Structure 1
Amino acid sequence: MRATASDRGRGLRWTVRLRMTLLYGGLFLVSGVALLGITYLLVATADGPKFVISRQRAPGDLPLPALDREALEAWGRAHAAEDRARRLSELLNRSAVALALMSTVSVALGWVMAGRVLRPVRTMADKARRISERNLHERLAVTGPDDELKDLGDTFDGLLARLDSAFDAQKRFVANASHELRTPLTFQRAMIEVTLGDPDADAATLRELCERLLTAGEEQERLIEALLTLSSSQRGPEHREPTDLAGPAGDVLLASPPDALPVEAVLRPAPVTGDPRLLERLVGNLVDNARRHNRPGGWIRLTTGVRDGRSELRVVNSGPVVNAADIDRLFQPFQRLHPRTAGPPGHGLGLSIVAAIAAAHDADVEADPGPRGGLDVRVRFP
C-alpha cells in the first residue's frame, strides 16, 4: 500500500511546544543574521589604513633606486584592499559558524523552556481528560505563580463547579419530577384495584371512581404543563417585542376567577422588551403563588412601574411567616415551605418558573419576607 501525502504528514505533529521552539530559534536566527549583516556593512564601509611615504632610506651609503611614488602608493592600496577582503571573509565565516552554533543552542534552550512553560498545560490537560460526569467534583487546582496559566486553571475550575451544580440540579429535578408523576399514578392504580376488588361495586361506585380518576388526570395535566412551561422558559423567549408590564398584569387580573382572593392593583407604565406570553405567565404565577400561600381574609398588592430607571413588577401578599434563609430555596423546582400534605395544593414549580422567565429576560428577582408574614417579590427588568 502506498502512503499518501496526508499519511506522511501525520508523522510530524505540530505541537505548541514545537511551534514555540521553532519560533524562538527563528527569531534568534533572524536577529543574528541582521546583526551579522550590520556588522559586516560597518566594517566594509570603514576607512582602511593609509600608506604615506615620507622618505626613502637605505643602509649605509648604498644608492637608492628611483621609485615611482604613485606606483608605490597604488601597491599599498591594493595590498590594503586585499588584506581587508581577507579579514572580511574571515569575519563572515567565523560569524556564520558562531551563528550556526548559537542557533542550535537557542533551539535546544527554546525546546527546554517551552517544555517548562507548557508543563502546567499538560498537567491540566491530563486532569481534565480524567474528569467526567461521574467525578465533576474534582478540580485542576493549579498551583504556582499568579499568571495566565493559573488564571486559565481557575477559570476551568469555576466552569467545573458550575457544571457540577447543574448536573446535581438536573439529577434532583429528574428525581423530583419522577416522584411527582409517580405519586398520582400510584394513587390512580390503587383506586382502580380497590374498586375492581369490590364485588358489590355498582354504577355509582364506578362513576365516583371515574370522577376521581378524571380529577387526578387533570392534576397530572397541570403538572406536565408546568414542566413544559419551565423548560420553554429556560430556553428563553422565541421572540421579543416592546411591551408594557401593565398589559400582562391587567390580563391576569381580568382572568381571575370571581371567588379568588381580590388583588389591589396599581398599574403604571413599565416598558420592557420580551415575550408577552411568558411575561403574562410570570405575573400569573406570582399572583397564583400569593393566593395559594395566604391566610383567610388576607390581601395581595400588585404594582407595575419604573424605579431607579428600571421597569419593575412587584407582588406583595400577606400569609404565614417565611424564614429569610428559605427564600432562595423557594425559587428551585419542587420546593415547598411545608410538606405536601400539610401545605396548600401545588407542585412547587410556580416560583421556579418565575425565576426562569426572569432570567430569560435578563431580569433580577428579589424577594424578602414580610414583616408580619407573607412575601414581597420584585422583578426588575433592564
Structure 2
Amino acid sequence: MRLSVLTRFPQSAYRLLVPKRIRLRLTLLYGFLFVLSGAVLLLITYLLVSNATSSFITVESKSAGPQSPGSDPDKPSAGLPPDIGGVARQFGEQSVRQHGAQMHDLLVQSGIALGITTVISIALGWAVAGRVLRPLRTMTSTIRRISARNVHERLAFGGPRDELTELADTVDGLLGRLETALDSHKRFVANAAHELRTPLTLEHALLEESLIDRDATLDSFRENFERLLTISKQQARLLESLLTLSSSERGVDRQERLDLAVLTRQVVDTFRPKIERRGLRLEASIESAALTGDSALVERLVANLLDNAVDYNVPGGLLELRTAVENGRAVVSVANTGQEISPEQVDRLFEPFQRLHRTAGDDHHGLGLSIVRAIAAAHGATLTARARPGGGLYVVAAFPLRRASASHVGPRGHQPPYVPNARTGDSLLARTPESG
C-alpha cells in the first residue's frame, strides 16, 4: 500500500507543480535556462578571478628575496632592515583578508546582478513566449470558428517556411479533405433521397389509383400489384447497394484466402444467361491470382464490373475478362464495347448515382462502379479506368498479392477447369496448376 502511494505521489506532484499553460511553461523554461547558464558563468568568473589574485599575492610575498637553506625565517636577512619580516607577514595577512573581502563582494554583487537579470529574463521570456505562440492562438481561434457551414475557410498562414507554416498547411489540407468529404456526403444524401423518393411517389400513385378507380377489375388490380412488386424489388436492390457501399467504405472485417480465378468463374456462370440473351461475345482469360480479403465483397466487385460491362454494351458487342498476376499484384480486368465516353467523364462514373447514356427509370441507380471503387479501396487495391477507342470502358483492379502456392483455391472449394461455351463464342484460356 505504501509503495503504491509512493509511486503515485511523483505523478500527482508533477501535475500540481507543472503549469497547464504552455506560455507559462516556456517562460519558466527560459528563466531556468538563464539562471543555470548565469550560475555557471558566475562560477567560472569566480574561479578565474580567485586564481589570478592568489597568484599575484604569492609573487609579491616572495619578492623579499630568497633565504638560505637552514636559516630561521623569523630572523632578519642580511642587508635588510631588522623589521622587514614582520612587515611582510602583516602585508601578506592583510592582502589575504582583502582578497577574501573582494571575492565575497564579487560573489554578492554577482548574485544580485544574476537575480536582477533573472527577473528581466523572465519578463522577456514571457513576452517572447507570447510572441512565439501568437500564431498558434490565431490558428486555434480560426479553427474554432470553422464549422460545417464555413468549412471552406482556410488558415492561409503566411511567413517563412517553418514548422508553424507546415502545421498551418497541414490543417488547411485537412480542411480541404473535410470539405470534399462533406460535399460528397451531401450529394450522396441528396441523390439517395431522390432515388428513394421517386419509387415511393410512384407506389403512392398506384395505390391511390387502385382506391379511386371504382371500375377497377381484378386484372387492373393484378397489374398494379405487379408494378408495385417490381418497384419494391428495385427499392430492395437500391437499399442493398447502399448497404454494400457503406460496409465496403468502413473497411474489410474478414480476411480470407481467395483466388480471383475461382470467384470470377462463379460470377461468369451467374451472368451467362444474361450474356446469351444480349448476344454478346465473351473473351476471357482466367488465371490463378491469390489474394487476401472478404470473398463476398471481392465477388461483388467482379460482378459489378461484369454487370456494368453487359448492361452498357451494344447488341452483339464484346466482353473481355481477364484475371492474372502482374507486377506482383492480383489483377482482374473487364473491358466492353459500347457508346463513346469522353476521358473527362471516366472519373465521374465512379461517383454515386452517376449514369451516362441512361435514364433514371432504367433499373440502374448508378451505384455499381462506386461500390467497385469502395471495395477496391477497402482491400488496398488500385483501380484504373479508361475509355476505349471507338466506345466502351476498360477497368482494371489490382489487389495486393498473397504469397501462396498456385494450387491454393478460395474458401468455396475446388472449381473444375472452365469450359468455354460455344454458343456465346467464348475464347477462354483457363490455366490450372497442372497446365501452369
Relative to 1, partners in 2 of residues 1:175 and 1:247: Cα closer, same or farther, differing over 3 Å? same
Task: Tell me by how many angstroms 1:257 deviates.
Answer: 4.5
Task: Tell me by how many angstroms 1:247 deviates.
Answer: 2.0
**AA matched with 2:37:** S
Question: Equivalent residue of 1:365, what SS?
Answer: strand
Residue 116 (structure 2) pairs with residue 105 (structure 1): no
CA distance in 2 between partners of 1:45 and 1:16 (Å): 43
After superposing the two structures, state which structure 1 stretch, 226-235 or 33-42, moved more.
33-42
Equivalent residue number for residue 347 of structure 1: 365
Residue 340 (structure 2) pairs with residue 329 (structure 1): no
CA distance in 1 between partners of 2:26 and 2:81 (Å): 70
CA distance in 2 between partners of 1:381 and 1:123 (Å): 44
Instruction: Answer whether contact 1:316 1:374 (CA < 8 A) is retained.
Output: yes
Task: Tell me by how many angstroms 1:43 deviates.
Answer: 2.8
After superposing the two structures, state which structure 1 stretch, 254-263 or 284-293, moved more.
254-263
**AA matched with 2:355:** R
Of residues 62, 78, 82, the one that matches 1:66 is: 82
Residue 208 (structure 2) pairs with residue 193 (structure 1): yes
Which fold has the larger relative contact order, with Cα–Cα distance below 8 Å and residues 6 or more apart in sequence?
2
Task: Tell me by how many angstroms 1:100 deviates.
Answer: 1.2
Equivalent residue number for residue 265 of structure 1: 284
Relative to 1, partners in 2 of residues 1:276 and 1:33: Cα closer, same or farther, differing over 3 Å? same
CA distance in 2 between partners of 1:145 and 1:191 (Å): 67
Instruction: Answer whether contact 2:281 2:317 (CA < 8 A) is retained.
Output: no
Per-residue Cα deviation, 1:243-299 (whole angstroms, up to 9, x for no partner) = 222222122112225242453221112222211111111000000000110000011
CA distance in 1 between partners of 2:333 and 2:274 (Å): 23
Question: Equivalent residue of 1:340, what SS?
Answer: coil
Instruction: Answer whether contact 2:309 2:336 (CA < 8 A) is retained.
Output: yes
Question: Equivalent residue of 2:357, what SS?
Answer: coil
Task: Tell me by how many angstroms 1:89 deviates.
Answer: 0.5
Equivalent residue number for residue 79 of structure 1: 94
Of residues 222, 236, 240, the one that matches 1:225 is: 240
**AA matched with 2:25:** R
Of residues 23, 33, 37, the one that matches 1:27 is: 33
CA distance in 2 between partners of 1:227 and 1:72 (Å): 109
CA distance in 2 between partners of 1:65 and 1:211 (Å): 142
Instruction: Answer whether contact 2:304 2:368 (CA < 8 A) is retained.
Output: yes
Per-residue Cα deviation, 1:295-338 (whole angstroms, up to 9, x for no partner) = 00011111111222222111011111111100111000001113
Residue 386 (structure 2) pairs with residue 371 (structure 1): no
Task: Tell me by how many angstroms 1:166 deviates.
Answer: 0.7
Question: Equivalent residue of 1:316, what SS?
Answer: strand
Residue 295 (structure 2) pairs with residue 284 (structure 1): no
Of residues 373, 376, 379, the one that matches 1:361 is: 379
CA distance in 2 between partners of 1:306 and 1:74 (Å): 102
Question: Equivalent residue of 1:263, what SS?
Answer: strand
Instruction: Answer whether contact 1:48 1:80 (CA < 8 A) is retained.
Output: no
CA distance in 1 between partners of 2:398 and 2:65 (Å): 102
Of residues 305, 319, 334, the one that matches 1:315 is: 334
Equivalent residue number for residue 53 of structure 1: 64
Per-residue Cα deviation, 1:37-80 (whole angstroms, up to 9, x for no partner) = 1222233344241323259xxxxxxxx973373x4444333222
- In structure 2, the gaps of 5 or more residues are 1-11, 67-79, 401-436
Of residues 148, 163, 166, the one that matches 1:148 is: 163
CA distance in 2 between partners of 1:336 and 1:377 (Å): 16
Residue 214 (structure 2) pairs with residue 214 (structure 1): no
Equivalent residue number for residue 3 of structure 1: none
Q: Percent identity?
A: 49
Instruction: Answer whether contact 2:248 2:371 (CA < 8 A) is retained.
Output: yes
Instruction: Answer whether contact 1:270 1:312 (CA < 8 A) is retained.
Output: yes
Instruction: Answer whether contact 2:319 2:337 (CA < 8 A) is retained.
Output: yes
* Root mean square deviation of aligned Cα: 2.2
CA distance in 2 between partners of 1:160 and 1:308 (Å): 36
**AA matched with 1:318:** T
Relative to 1, partners in 2 of residues 1:106 and 1:289: Cα closer, same or farther, differing over 3 Å? same
Instruction: Answer whether contact 2:281 2:316 (CA < 8 A) is retained.
Output: no
Question: Equivalent residue of 2:331, what SS?
Answer: strand
CA distance in 2 between partners of 1:138 and 1:243 (Å): 46
After superposing the two structures, state which structure 1 stretch, 75-84 or 30-39, moved more.
75-84
Residue 253 (structure 2) pairs with residue 238 (structure 1): yes
Residue 159 (structure 2) pairs with residue 159 (structure 1): no
Residue 318 (structure 2) pairs with residue 299 (structure 1): yes
Instruction: Answer whether contact 1:48 1:84 (CA < 8 A) is retained.
Output: no
Instruction: Answer whether contact 2:19 2:25 (CA < 8 A) is retained.
Output: no
Task: Tell me by how many angstroms 1:114 deviates.
Answer: 1.4
CA distance in 2 between partners of 1:65 and 1:294 (Å): 130
Equivalent residue number for residue 417 of structure 2: none
Relative to 1, partners in 2 of residues 1:84 and 1:256: Cα closer, same or farther, differing over 3 Å? same
Equivalent residue number for residue 183 of structure 2: 168
Task: Tell me by how many angstroms 1:13 deviates.
Answer: 6.1
Structure 1 runs, 4 residues or longer, greater than 6 Å off:
none
Relative to 1, partners in 2 of residues 1:167 and 1:274: Cα closer, same or farther, differing over 3 Å? same
Q: TM-score, normalised by structure 2?
A: 0.79
Task: Tell me by how many angstroms 1:350 deviates.
Answer: 0.1
Equivalent residue number for residue 40 of structure 1: 46
CA distance in 1 between partners of 2:48 and 2:274 (Å): 102
CA distance in 2 between partners of 1:126 and 1:212 (Å): 57
After superposing the two structures, state which structure 1 stretch, 125-134 or 105-114, moved more.
105-114
Task: Tell me by how many angstroms 1:154 deviates.
Answer: 1.0
Instruction: Answer whether contact 1:233 1:360 (CA < 8 A) is retained.
Output: yes
CA distance in 1 between partners of 2:274 and 2:23 (Å): 74
CA distance in 2 between partners of 1:235 and 1:353 (Å): 12
